[in-house]
A and B are shown apart, each in its own frame.
Chain A
Amino acid sequence: MEFQAIILCGPGTELAPLVSPYMTKALLPIANRPMLYYSLEWCHRAGISSAIVVSSSAAEQAISQYIKLEYNSTQKAGMKIEVVPVDGETAFIIRSLKDKIKHDFILLPCDFVTDLPPQTVVDMHRNQPVKTIGSGIWYKNTLDSIDKKTLKPNLTIHTPLGKPHPRLLDVYPRPKGSDPLTVRMSMLWEHPQATISTTVLEAFIYLFSRRVLDDDGDLSSSATLAAAAATTTTTTAAASASPTATSTSTSASTDQSSSAPTNPADLPKWKKSWTALVRDIARDSWRHRDSSSRGTVGFYVVPADYSFLRCKSVSAYFEANRLVLKQTAYTPPPSTATAKGAVIGRDSLIGIGTEMDEKTNVKRSIVGADCKFGRECRITGCVIMDGVTVGNGVHLDNCIIANGVSVEDKVRLSGCTVEGRYIVSMGTQSKNEVLRGYSAEGLLDSDSDAIESYDSDEDSDEDEDESDDDGEINESELEQSEGEGIEYDDDDFFDRG
């Protein structure tokens, strides 16, 4: 059985200021390699021969260029990689790729880093019972340094992990305030042992049977019922109801051979977030009277011996670098870097073409290519991207320095994040700040504001991120499906008795 990989490259707005119009998330370097490399490599190791990289139309060019010029040239065995620009919700993306998906598929984000062997996941899915229509991967965050605010675990209900073939049963957003969480009895009669996990996070790696794309299948009768209702309404109404879907489908419709009068991609099922879609499949597996014949969703949690993290915040990105650094075997720095007797710790990674002057000391850090360091610098635990110029006597401690930043003499930074092309003026001393914008003066006045606004940015941007659906199960949708559920419950039980 073959898999096709679908790698979703989101915009990564939560990684600001590292991600900008000039640097798309997928290409943000982790340990001197673009994030996308790790996803592709993981698929490669899983023995997948065909991958579709989905990006926003804006980032498409940069990503195709990277794959054409760099990734493909470094790889020995060929993995067919295609870059497709689609804008929209994940479920919509998957639906619009229907004709390109020939096999069962693995859905992956571009922003994960793990030492979990891909084969374990594939084997897990292959060993699932026949009824399993797909499996998902969840992980637990083990790192304290990742900003807790950026991890928003849902309440994930699944069958106990101790039993064979755990299944996903339901997903709820964390109840707000003092609202109670309601768990349906129909689920508890079907699955008397259920576990609510409050900490598992969606890895957003899903292995699904191609069946899931069949619109006329018995995937979700509620969805098809609603679909039936939708098809009776005029197409114009449907179009106006989903302006985003239709506008984007014009770009995608060139790929679509399905020219049915009502576009199946307009089904409500495909307008949800992927998480909601998976949740509905899981729910349908116990909610209906014929639920025993319905597909189930396997539930797999990354074992505690493996690390897994997704770069969904700057702190997570930082940890990802450290994780990769730990995994990669020591490679001696390129000769240019060690010139003039600079000291580079064996726990550091230095890119090609980087130069260091006398008495510069680099420890536990990642330094990109073509950087220039002055004399007597001390770099500890930093991530420094390509083309950074560092003056003399600079001390950097646990900082992220983006591409092309210029750090002038005697700067002392600790725990700072510096946006690309920023110029850190001479003698600046900062701690735990985000340095962004092009004018240093303006920023120094509004340091604290910058941090706050950055945080709030992250929150508001979360929902727009196309591959990160965690926060998107909206209440009204839950309410609505709840209502449907009740009716089915009733029927269910009269029959069962």
Chain B
Amino acid sequence: MGPKKGGQQAAGKRKGASSNAAGNDHDAEQDERLQAIVLSDSYQTRFRPLTLEKPRCLLSLCNTPLIEYTFEFLALAGVSEVIVVSCAHAEQIQEYIANSRWSSPSSPFTIETVLSPESMSVGDAMRDLDAKGLITSDFLLVSGDIVCNVPFDQVLAEHRQRRAKDKNAIMTMVLREASPLHRTRARAESAIFVLDEQTNQCLHYEEIKTRKHMKKISLEPEIFNKHTDLAIRNDFIDCHIDICSPDVPALFTENFDYNHIRKDFVHGILTSDLLGKTIFAHVVTDHYAARVRSLQTYDAVSKDVISRWTYPITPDSNLLADQTFQYQRGHIYKEDDVVLARSCRINSCTVIGARTVVDDGAVITGSVIGRRCKIGKNAKISGAYIWDDVTIGDNAVVDCAVIGDGAIIGESSHISPGAIISYNVKVGKGITVDGNKRLTRTEGDFGRDTDYEAVGTDGIGFVYEDESEVEEDDDYEEIVNSSGLIYNMASLNQSDASFTSSGEGTTARKARRRRISTASNNTAASEESDEESFMREAQASVERAMTEDHDIDIAALELGTLRMAKNAPFHEVRAATITALISRVSNLINSNTMKARQAVEHVLNRWAKLFRRQVFDLADQVDLLLLIQRDCTRRMQGSAILLHAINNLYDQDILEESAIMQWWYKEPQSKGDADMIKVGELVPRWLEWLTTAEEESEDDDDE
């Protein structure tokens, strides 16, 4: 109840503020203006290393920055006020917008950039917006990477009609119908929607984890009592184009564990009986809508733009003021001042920017070439995305790769399908770059030197590895699957087979998920039950609390909310907390920051208070002990951690003597297997101390 109350207060404040600011009738306001929130950040790392230097929304798609497509769509939709929320590379976005035609007096809408530098997710951004009180009426929520030509009048009219009838219809999602394996349907982010056939009310949302391993979806029986005909749809492309009521940011504030707009927010609203809010879908059967959220979709959307599926948004509509594209037969788009040698060949579906020079004998097929590029003699380019100022050496071959601004590909080099060459990388002569390589010059956190093996002795750049990201992102397995330009089905199949042959238990899988950084599809296999998702979320919540040093009350509250939302038993809350705390302890020890005792004290002195709201009686204490013991079995120095943890919790009066006695002497599980016995090897001595109540434990060494 706590967070809810707070949220309502916040909502109340927000409303007050908005009515003061606007100073007119709420309904009239709704009819006149349409706000749009553009989330310029994707909160993902799939485009790395390209996005290390530039935000995703400024990446060039068919020689036009992605965000232009979004603005064009908003202009067509009749939006009158655009708020761009930016986080990573905010200054670049601000600068871009300030210099664009959208900031000019002739712009169809007013534009404003809002910095939200702390936000790590869509949820954070929404909470930030709610706190800033910028939203006054129903608004359009889009990301800065959509390409869409759906006329919006009808969608909006339907939404408003529903809202007029029912204030609880807080959101309308725009979904495009396509085939389930459509190329612009992002493999990892597709989902199954269950809609009421008559009203299009969304009743169930289920993310498809990884295509292969979800065998079935479960539908709650209540929906069958309330609705007669339900459409289960696996053929929607969900571009995250939503019309939201101002309740949506407020709900994000109320539920601070909501991060993702779909799998947290939509799922949360649909599964919550308390809120009583409803979400609707608008199904688009014709027109185009796609979101560039992975390199595969980047590839697919580029092709769609070139083949004019997105009309009127095509290269020859020259979205930017200085563009001079002209359409030629066979979907070839050329700007002015392109220099083509007599003997070069430009095949169909190609875009070439201004002042690019293509030398004799070069062959370009189905590719996008930026401005001021130099394509050497007899170079072969097919299906590639080459941005501005790139030099391709003579006889080089570029096949289905992305080449960033200013990169240089040496003579006779071969760039294999799927490779990414980031900004200003120089690939030497005669080098073959594998399809799974990503070359960059941006060092990021680790200072690194040129990897001459990858780029050649005369090259500059090194191989980018996204290991560091893995730990932070819960969905990393999906990133692995979806980040490649080429969706490597063969390798996926292989790992599928390896999964089915290894019959791991869920706990083992979960343990590995956090620790193994090499990309393995095995973890993706988990068909996530509610229980598991609770464990994951709860664990993440405690971890977040520790890293961001939250107030203990807030952390406890968050856990409590989560527990109620998922209806999880306390046992699982304890398990999640234990896992998070011990893994923190373990990290401190493994990184040689502290010794075992010190680490345990450091973590538990502050955070063990969480257990006060999780452990209520003797049985709970025994359960807690078992959980600690079990968790310690898979840690380095587990026995030491166990010992000090028990000691510390005993000192903090969270564990009572009788519980410890019962756990050690009576609970069969405490000596259930070899691991459990081994990890408990130090316990008897401590018990001895406990019983004799002597102060010897001070001298216990840490090993």
Contact = CB atoms under 8 A, between A and B. Distances in A.
Given A155-B224, A493-B212, A199 B229 contact: yes
Contacts of B339: none
- The contact size tier of chain A is 20 to 34
Contacts of A157: 232
In this complex, the member of A179, A185, A199, A497 whose beta carbon has the largest number of chain B beta carbons within 10 angstroms is: A185
Interface in A171-207: 174-175, 177-186, 188-189, 192-199
Interface in A297-346: none
B435 interface: no
Nearest to B222: A178
B218 A497 contact: no
A181 B224 contact: yes
A167 B398 CA distance: 47
SS class, residues of chain A in contact with chain B:
mixed
Contacts of B211: 493
A174 B224 contact: yes
A181 B204 CA distance: 12
Contacts of A197: 228-230
B207 to A, nearest CB: 12
Interface string B215-235: 111111100110111111111
A483 to B, nearest CB: 11
Interface in B194-219: 194, 197, 208, 211-212, 214-219
A189 B234 contact: yes
B492 interface: yes
A192 B179 contact: yes
Contacts of B493: 494, 497
B221 A182 contact: no
A195 B232 contact: yes
A464 interface: no
A415 interface: no
Given A182-B216, A185-B215, A486-B215, A193 B221 contact: no
Interface in A429-488: 486
B218 A195 contact: no
A490 interface: yes
Nearest to B192: A188
In this complex, the member of B179, B214, B234 whose beta carbon has the largest number of chain A beta carbons within 10 angstroms is: B234
Contacts of B197: 160, 195
B215 A184 contact: yes
Contact of A494 (B234, B235, B497): B497
- The contact size tier of chain B is 20 to 34
Contacts of B235: 192-193
B285 to A, nearest CB: 11
Contacts of B214: 185
A350 to B, nearest CB: 40
Given A181-B221, A182-B217, A182-B218, A497 B229 contact: no
A160 B235 CA distance: 13
A180 B180 CA distance: 24
A497 B234 contact: no
A293 to B, nearest CB: 21
Contacts of B233: 192-194
Interface string A142-175: 0000000000000101001000000000000011
B187 to A, nearest CB: 11
A185 B210 CA distance: 11
A194 B219 CA distance: 14
B489 interface: yes
A497 B489 contact: yes
B656 interface: no
Interface in B171-204: 179-180, 192, 194, 197
25 contacts: A157-B232, A175-B221, A178-B221, A180-B218, A181-B219, A181-B221, A181-B224, A182-B217, A183-B217, A184-B216, A185-B208, A185-B216, A185-B217, A188-B180, A192-B180, A192-B233, A192-B234, A192-B235, A194-B233, A195-B229, A196-B229, A199-B229, A494-B496, A494-B497, A497-B492
Interface of B: 179-180, 192, 194, 197, 208, 211-212, 214-221, 224-225, 227-235, 489, 492-493, 496-497, 500
